[in-house]
Structure 1
Amino acid sequence: MDEQRWSADQMSDQSQRVFVVTGASSGLGLASVRALVARGAHVVLAVRDPEKGRAAVAGLPDGQVEVRRLDLADLTSVRAFAAGLRADHPRVDVLMNNAGILAPPRTLSPQGHESQFATNHLGHFALTGLLLDALDGPDPRVVTVSSLNHRRGRIDFDDLTGERGYAPARFYNRSKLANTLFGLELHRRLAAAGSPVRSVLAHPGYSATRLQTNGATGLQRLLFGCLARPLAQSAARGALPQLYAATEPGVRGGEFIGPDGRGELKGAPTRVEPAPRALDTEVARRLWDVSQELTGVRFPLPTSVG
């Protein structure tokens, strides 16, 4: 298959497969849900506002979608979601860690973590750990959605909450680097354990979604939402890399899928390279240890090598 021209129409049949998609009531998540349902998948929408989620999927087959509440910023909600899901779905085929918030004013989660780090990274880290042994079937995967902005991120372990100095865009970039470090470290640990689960990363390039305007304020909202919008592709196009990462048979664990256009801003899915600092295994292992401590979730996996 020519991956350069891959589209959702080329997705293989996904019948009998269960997908969990976080942040699925709008944007890339909702576009992913619609494409997966069109190929026969059963999709669990993990959303902060279930009423909004149900409205978003009105008209889709009732037997193929279900809406469950998940607030990724609140670790109590993450645990409750995972417990409820596992009670009803002993097996999950694909977990798509898609949800995210962008450049809000500094706020703290119920557990005292900076909101972007809590929502974009810690919540997904905890959810993945709590669902890992439920990931089963012929081709189980974890797809973690990062961003081009991970290339600008740095992890300051001495100020993860922003108490010493908070800049909305800088902390967003940090959370996206954390996503990338996590996805790659998860791959290394899964490989060391001989697990069949594949950890794959994806990014959408620049896509026109509500993420750019819902949380951002002031200059960030102007830059992300208004001035750059003419350069953006649709949410349906932006979702293609994560759909490719979740379903294409040839994808291998540890790969990063993004758009093939100039600057990776738009285009068809292809394999791309993460930023060099995302390949720092020492930082990745430290982030893993810190994340386990902050969430209280420990993965049944060995320490990675290399």
Structure 2
Amino acid sequence: MSSDSTDAPLFDTACPIPGDWGPHRIPGLGGRLAVVTGGNTGLGLATARELARAGADVVLAVRSTGRGAAAAADIRRAAPGSRVDVHRLDLADLASVADFADRFLDEYPALDLLINNAGIMTTRRSTTTDGFESQFGTNHLGHFALTGRLLPVLAAATAARVVTVSSAAHALGRLDFRDLQSKRRWGRLRAYGNSKLANLLFTAELDRRAGAAGLALRAYAVHPGYAATSLFTAGQPPLVRGLFALPGAVLAVRPLTGALPTLCAATHPGLPGATFLGPRGAAGLRGAPAVVTPAPRARHRATAVRLWEVSQALTAVRYDFPSPAAVSDRPA
């Protein structure tokens, strides 16, 4: 069967989202704990700030603890009395992922919300500490490893959610399992699209496996549309920055607007697992969040299963799902 075919519906497309969905619809999150990767800037900071305003305790998982501390102070000003912790995490280094997870498991008994937000975009050709193509290694494999290592605390929560930030650029991706690290064929946008396609396939398979294990854990993917963040300029050559400058000035939305699909996926009551959210208007560039349909390559179950197995092998992180019987035997 072609890798482009759709042998089963991986994503739920039936759940309506109110057309005026915004931060005012976030329910109270008192007693909930959220981890936001890349929570010191852009979409991550906007997401963490609104979760804290709704009463959640927030952990900023960031590469620079100095910038993380500044972001935490900003969040505390916006949400007085909120608990905001900062921990170092470099998704491009699996040893850093393991260290973050070990410290987290020692400190926190349960995790309600994991926001896999951090990422890099169309950077020059480079590799992660572990030798993976940098965009695929950071955006997908880093978050795959992080989620797997945090599975015990996600499983311990009453109804945990994992929200992974993908992109409309996933439609440009095409996973070649003979060349996942793009050694034979590489392009900035192609590599980015591959990583974002992987985010969607990971989300669908995580939700399926968690459900099969009897966990209340649900997984969601989102894309922010065209948000005014440093993702479009950081590490880019002058030509690329110039190409983004004019459309960015005209079309880009502020980070809070770009974060709305993430916030909706993290908090909207009754949202079915394996739902993909993005802006509802202006060709998916901006607007209130709505359920959107991924590109065909993101809806192929066999590819999702194969990517899962390959990702476990590459990261040496295996998801230890409890048996359905063990989950049902837990005290209410």
- Same fold per superposition (TM over 0.5): yes
- TM-superposed CA distance for 1:24, in Å, is 0.6
Q: Which residue of 2 aligns with 1:183?
A: 203
Equivalent residue in structure 1 for 2:186, among 158, 161, 166: 166
Note if 1:277 corresponds to 2:315.
no
Note if 1:256 corresponds to 2:271.
no
Note if 1:34 corresponds to 2:53.
no
Q: 1:171 to 1:37 in 2, by over 3 A?
A: same
Note if 1:241 corresponds to 2:261.
yes
Q: Which residue of 1 aligns with 2:70?
A: 55
TM-score (norm 1): 0.95
Q: Which residue of 2 aligns with 1:46?
A: 61
Structure 1 distance, partners of 2:235, 2:205, is 29
Runs of at least 4 residues off by over 4 Å:
none
- TM-superposed CA distance for 1:4, in Å, is 1.2
Does the 8 Å CA contact 2:38/2:44 hold for their aligned counterparts?
Answer: yes
Structure 1 distance, partners of 2:67, 2:197, is 29
Q: 1:58 to 1:66 in 2, by over 3 A?
A: same
Cα shift readout 1:240-270 (whole Å, capped 9, x = no counterpart): 0000000111211111111110311111111
Structure 1 segment 88-167 matched on structure 2, within 5 A: 88-135=107-154, 136-167=156-187
Structure 2 distance, partners of 1:73, 1:2, is 34
Structure 1 distance, partners of 2:238, 2:140, is 24
Using the aligned pairs only, state the percent identity: 50
Q: Which amino acid aligns with 1:228?
A: G
Does the 8 Å CA contact 1:20/1:45 hold for their aligned counterparts?
Answer: yes
Report the aligned-residue RMSD. 1.5
Structure 2 distance, partners of 1:77, 1:133, is 18
Equivalent residue in structure 2 for 1:81, among 93, 100, 107: 100
Structure 1 distance, partners of 2:221, 2:37, is 15
Does the 8 Å CA contact 1:72/1:123 hold for their aligned counterparts?
Answer: yes
Structure 2 distance, partners of 1:157, 1:220, is 29
TM-score (norm 2): 0.88
- TM-superposed CA distance for 1:2, in Å, is 5.8
Structure 1 distance, partners of 2:244, 2:114, is 27
Does the 8 Å CA contact 1:45/1:68 hold for their aligned counterparts?
Answer: yes
Q: How many residues align?
A: 302
- TM-superposed CA distance for 1:192, in Å, is 1.6
Which of structures 1 and 2 has the bigger CA Rg? 2
Q: Higher relative contact order at CA 8 Å, sep ≥6: structure 1 or structure 2?
A: 2
Moved more, 227-236 or 214-223: 214-223
- TM-superposed CA distance for 1:84, in Å, is 0.5
Note if 1:205 corresponds to 2:225.
yes
- TM-superposed CA distance for 1:169, in Å, is 1.1
Does the 8 Å CA contact 2:166/2:221 hold for their aligned counterparts?
Answer: yes
Q: Which residue of 2 aligns with 1:268?
A: 288
Q: Give 5+ residue unaligned stretches, structure 2.
A: 1-15, 323-332
